Amino acid sequence: INAETWGITVAMSFELRRAGPDDIPTILALIHELAAYEKAPDAVAISELQLMEDSFPKDGTSRPFCWNIVAEITKDSQRQVVGFANYFISFNTWVGKTMYLEDLFVKSEYRNLGIGKALMKMVAQEGVKMGCSRYRWQVLDWNTPSIDFYDRIGATCLKEWLTYQFDREGMEHFASS
């Protein structure tokens, strides 16, 4: 799907497509770039194998835990992935299925060209097709370029909610206590 499909005027042509198994190494590299951007370069623990298994279950009958969309440009006659969106369906007892955007990342030199917006729109369209009642994501409080972007597209910031989590060790400890 190209940029014009989304009604977006862009300075550079790009295409979006659902990621396939061959894209997993590139997506993992982008995840590492995202972690560096988010000031957590050593935080990525997922392996290529785990990302592959979670995105493309081997048994063919299990539903994936997540999906990925990639953005590609053509540069020097070569296709190059320059961004991705990772998303999944979560559930809310008040409204039902929720589309959750886990990660949205576009390489710095390709930002402000409409790629991030197009990726977000494609995930939104997937959510509509899947019957989701809402579309949710998180952003770091210091990431003002992204916050400004989300405000411009009309998203609502839920400032009253705080995020809590256990890491794996904490979860295991809590589960066994």
From 37, 110, 135, 150, the catalytic residue: 150
Strand locations in 23-177, DSSP E? Answer: 67-75, 78-92, 96-106, 134-137
What whole-number distance in Å separates Cα of residue 116 and Cα of residue 42? Answer: 24
What whole-number distance in Å separates Cα of residue 75 and Cα of residue 142? Answer: 32
What whole-number distance in Å separates Cα of residue 33 and Cα of residue 44? Answer: 10
What whole-number distance in Å separates Cα of residue 116 and Cα of residue 106? Answer: 6
Active-site residue, 150 included? yes
- Which residues form the catalytic set? 150
